[in-house]
Homo-oligomer: A and B are copies of this chain.
Amino acid sequence: MKKSVFYHAGCPVCVSAEHDIIELIGKSNVEVVHLGEDKGRISEAENAGIKSVPALVTPTGNVLHINFGASLADVKG
């Protein structure tokens, strides 16, 4: 199965959601991307349709915005 990608920015809401997602989906099925540390991938996240973090992009390309940690604009700072 193609991996899901979990984008976050290190905020408390993000970290909590990350733990839940990994627990539910399995660590081997999800790639975790920290946009605060890896700003080069912010444009990738935008192209995927992400408006805020934390967010999960499913293997089929759907975006699930989970709770609300920060807008992508804030991450870009």
Contacts and interface: CB of A to CB of B under 8 A. Distances in A.
Interface of A: 4, 16-17, 20-21, 23-25, 29, 58-60, 62-68
B66 A16 contact: no
A6 to B, nearest CB: 11
Contacts of A68: 65
A62 B25 contact: no
B4 A62 contact: no
Contact of A23 (B20, B60, B65): B60
A65 B64 contact: no
A60 B63 CA distance: 24
5 contacts: A4-B24, A20-B58, A20-B64, A23-B58, A65-B66
